[in-house]
Chain A
Amino acid sequence: MELLNQIFIEPFQTMYALPDLLLQTLWEGFVAGTLYSLIALGFVLIFKASGVFNFAQGIMVVFAALVLVGVHALGVNAYLAVLITLGVMALLAMTVVRVVLKPLVNQPDIILFMATIGLTYILIAGGQLVFGGEPKAMITEELGLPTGSSDWEVGGGIVIFQHIDIAAAVIAVILIAGLAIFFNKTRVGRALRAVADDHQAALSVGISLEYIWMVVWFAAGVVALTAGIMWAAKSDVSFALQVVALKALPVLVLGGFTSIPGAIIGGLIIGLGEKVFELYWGSTILGGGTEAWFAFIIALLFLLYRPEGLFGEKLIERI
């Protein structure tokens, strides 16, 4: 009886009594969600175009942030450092496609997956070798990102909006909109979708798979850099960040591996869900600490009952 009360009644009473707390939690969940979305988006881009499940996406986030901070530490202007980092990500994309993917083309998926695990360790080791392993502060101010916060009074309490969080959400939305336009309106974007649909046929009309793969790996690199900057601005640039990137896996299961809207909505659901669950249910009934595994439980349930995810591409079948 007590338990039922804790599950079905108390949380909602608290929500009603303290609307500012609810709004604060939703906002934080939303911000975390946009970042999960960004990381998941990187996975989806590569998976759609080349069928490779890129285990290294998480480490690419750290690597991009590390390069940015490292280059800036050499005394380079922050914006120039961003451009140089983009250059490094482009180079990485080219190297990965030429050295890793191309020789392994037509091998079973699991081999490509293993190759990306190898890539993960190369990036970790390479990053540590060049930039050192200790955590570094993100160059938030130098990049002109806002710091500080605004308060908003609601129902007798206040909700705090960190400016960096607002910036993160806005940038994420712009990036996603930009990608959507790129995919739907440009020649290369159309070719990308063609490759995702049927790479044999894409080859037959003269689309170069190698080029398309480079484009998606670079796009995933750009997404990784954005996610890296935003996430590191809230904590530090350190290899611990890649654990956060693993949260993208449940996001993918939830949204479907091939769906870009799925990655976005899945990320938001996981972000919001884990924060809200932790506050209203996890901490009262289970003694807290649910944020770490909430997403994976959701993923497990989805795998059991809806393995294609919320928006996974259904096979088009004519009747």
Chain B
Amino acid sequence: MSVAENLNTQEAETILSINNIEVIYNHVILVLKGVSLTVPKGGIVAILGANGAGKTTTLRAVSNLLHGERGEVTKGNIVFNGDEIQSLTPNELVRRGCIQVMEGRHCFGHLTIEENLMTGAYTRKDGAGAIKDHLDLVYQYFPRLKERRKSQAGYTSGGEQQMCAIGRALMSKPSMILLDEPSMGLAPQLVEEIFEIVHDLNEQEGVSFLLAEQNTNIALKYATYGYILESGRVVMDGEAKDLRENEDVKEFYLGVGGEGRKSFKDVKHYRRRKRWLA
């Protein structure tokens, strides 16, 4: 097998596949109605969609943090690195290399930045030396965190907290990070900076990313593939560059294209009709 072919088959390998899952909260509220998606090894895949479309729920279903919110996966299965993972605890999942960075950052406010990062290494068993080296590596990616390592996380800025949350996840030596809404509440410049780091981590450390974003523009700029979720269903998916060019996506999610101004009422109507036709 030639090197090129080898590369090709590796690219085709999937690290995560979600097969037709249904998620119900509180035993009655059906949130995901059969969502399927795959993440190739070393890829950045974006889940896009409006508020309440089910992006966060999808990520939580993978990381098994649903139980904390009284939700459960009732149908379908989720396969990570060849194993079904629905019944694993988050602890076991982090050990296997899949970790979630939650929406709204969720740093440990009363712990210092460095302590926050060290909690990420909680599940690791490969010794203090290796963890220390890894900490230095994380500081290389996030030099800002090194400057603020002694500050309580609760007193750092939103951008620093987001970096702290990603850095903390990195400390577990993951092969896949589920990144929920990294751009939330951040200045555009910071969003760009964070996505650049995500890009670097993906290229240099080989970490795969599944990210949920409302900021369609930036997500499609950095992702390789995208899924668009609407009311708990995947309504469209494709290569990121194709989605960027797609007229509907442009109109509804990027806020450009279409002819003239449209009132939101019409947009909704159009969307509804579109789904009926599909």
- Which A residues contact B (CB, under 8 angstroms)? 106, 187, 190-191, 193-194, 196-208, 313, 316-318
Bound-complex Cα distance A187 to B127 (A): 12
B154 to A, closest residue via Cβ:
A316
Residues of B within 8 A of A (CB): 63, 65, 68, 70, 89-91, 93-95, 99-102, 106-111, 115-116, 118-120, 122-123, 152, 154-158, 168-169, 172
Q: Cα distance A293–B240 when bound, in Å?
A: 70
Partner of B90, one of A106, A203, A317, A318: A203
Known contacts A190-B111, A198-B109; A106/B68 CB under 8 A: yes
Q: Are B95 and A201 in contact (CB under 8 A)?
A: no
- With contact pairs A203-B65, A205-B169 given, residues A198 and B106 touching in the complex (Cβ less than 8 Å): yes
B100 and A204 contacting across the interface, CB-CB below 8 Å: yes
Nearest A-chain residue to B90, judged by Cβ:
A203
Closest chain-B Cβ to A308's Cβ sits at a distance in Å of 15
- A205→B68 contact, CB < 8 A: no
A208-B68 Cα distance, complex, nearest whole Å: 13
CB of A191 within 8 A of CB of B122, answer yes
A204 pairs with B65, CB closer than 8 A = yes
B110 touching A316, Cβ below 8 Å? yes
Asked if B102 and A204 sit within 8 Å, CB to CB, the answer is yes
Determine how close the nearest CB of chain A comes to the CB of B243; give it in whole angstroms. 28
Instruction: For A187, list chain B residues within 8 Å (CB).
Output: 118, 122
Is the beta-carbon distance between B107 and A201 smaller than 8 angstroms?
yes
Once the chains bind, are A200 and B102 in contact (CB under 8 Å)? yes
Q: How far is the CB of A154 from chain B (nearest CB, A)?
A: 44
Query: Which residues of the partner chain A approach B116 to less than 8 Å between Cβ atoms?
Result: 194
List of B residues within 8 angstroms of A201 by Cβ = 102, 106-108
- Chain A residues with CB under 8 Å of B122's CB are 187, 190-191, 205-207
**Contacts A187-B122, A203-B90, A206-B172; A318 near B110 (Cβ below 8 A):** no
Chain A-chain B contacts (Cβ-Cβ < 8 Å), number: 86
B172 surroundings in chain A (CB, below 8 A): 205-206
Contacts of A203 in B (CB 8 A): 65, 68, 90-91
Inter-chain CA distance A316–B169, complex, in Å, is 23
B106 touches A194 (CB 8 A): no
Contacts of A316 in B (CB 8 A): 109-110, 152, 154-155
User: Across the two chains, which residue of chain A brings its CB closest to B169?
Assistant: A205
A10 to B226 alpha-carbon distance, docked (Å): 82
CB distance from A237 to the nearest CB of B (A): 38
Nearest CB in chain B: distance from A288 CB, A: 44
Distance in Å: Cβ of A317 to nearest Cβ of chain B: 8
Residue of chain A at shortest CB distance from B106:
A201
A207 touches B119 (CB 8 A): yes
* Extra A-B contacts (17), CB below 8 Å, given A190-B122, A206-B99: A106-B70, A190-B119, A194-B119, A196-B110, A197-B109, A198-B108, A198-B109, A200-B68, A201-B102, A203-B90, A206-B90, A206-B123, A207-B119, A207-B122, A208-B89, A318-B156, A318-B157
Q: Which 4 A-B pairs have the closest CB atoms?
A: A206-B94, A316-B154, A201-B106, A197-B108
How far is A27 from B20 in the complex, measured between Cα atoms in Å?
70
Residues of B within 8 A of A208 (CB): 89, 91
B158: chain A residues at CB < 8 Å are: 318
Q: Which residues of B lie under 8 Å from residue A198 when comparing CB positions?
A: 106-109
- Residue of chain A at shortest CB distance from B96: A206
**C-alpha gap A221/B93 in the complex (Å):** 31
With a CB–CB cut-off of 8 A, which chain B residues contact A197? 108-111
When distances are taken between beta carbons in the complex, the residues of chain A under 8 Å from B100 are: 204
C-alpha gap A199/B102 in the complex (Å)? 12
Q: Chain B CB within 10 Å — which of A187, A194, A206 has the most? A: A206
> How many Å lie between the Cα of A30 and that of B89 in the bound state?
46
Question: Contact between B106 and A204 (Cβ–Cβ < 8 Å)?
Answer: yes
Return the chain A residue nearest B152 by Cβ.
Answer: A316
Which chain A residue shows the least CB distance to B101? Answer: A204
In the complex, chain A residues whose CB is within 8 Å of the CB of B91: 203, 206-208
